[in-house]
Each structure stands twice: as C-alpha cells, then as structure tokens.
C-alpha cells in the first residue's frame, strides 16, 4: 500500500523528491501518513478534496483484496 501511495503522489506533484510516506500497521488496519512539499499540498488535496478522495478510493479498493482497512492521512507541515 505504501508503494501505491508513493507512486500516485509522485505522479501528481511537481517536487517528487519531497514525497514521504510512513506506514503504521495495526492488526486489522494500516495508517499511511503522506507528506509532500508545501507548494504541492494543493495538488494532492485537489479541488474540494476530490484528488485526496480518489486516492483513498483506490487505496480502499486495493486493501479490500487483502481484507484490511487503510486510512490515508495527508500531513501538512508547518
């Protein structure tokens, strides 16, 4: 799942070297934290959150094949 998010994020942003994905696995769920450069945050979230929602939909479809739940958190750096 981590590789999938990393691939999707790097394809969307202008600064792919700044993409960082951290995965925390639980028993039935995984939490993925996505960090991108500040100027690319809008590209990942999209208008009214559509891009972020699409990424989450793709993740949930992939996770359903392994009977796991995946939560994507987009972390904004201050």
Mean pLDDT, rounded, for 20-36 = 93
pLDDT for residue 76 is more than 90: no
Mean pLDDT, rounded, for 4-30 = 93
Number of domains in the chain: 1
**Distance between CA atoms of residues 69 and 31, nearest Å:** 9
pTM over cut 0.85: yes
Residue 10's domain comprises 2-75
70 CB contacts (<8 Å, ≥6 apart)? 1, 29, 30, 31, 32, 59, 60, 62, 63
Percent of the chain with pLDDT over 90: 85
* CATH code assigned at 48: 3.30.300.20
Predicted confidence at residue 78, as pLDDT, reads 56
């Amino acid at each position: 799942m981590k590789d999938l998010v990393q691939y999707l994020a790097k394809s969307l942003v202008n600064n792919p070297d700044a993409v960082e994905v951290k995965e925390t696995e639980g028993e039935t769920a995984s939490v993925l934290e996505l960090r991108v450069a500040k100027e690319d945050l809008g590209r990942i979230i999209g208008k009214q959150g559509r891009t972020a929602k699409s990424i989450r939909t793709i993740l949930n479809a992939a996770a359903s094949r392994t009977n796991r739940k995946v939560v994507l958190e987009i972390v904004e750096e201050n």
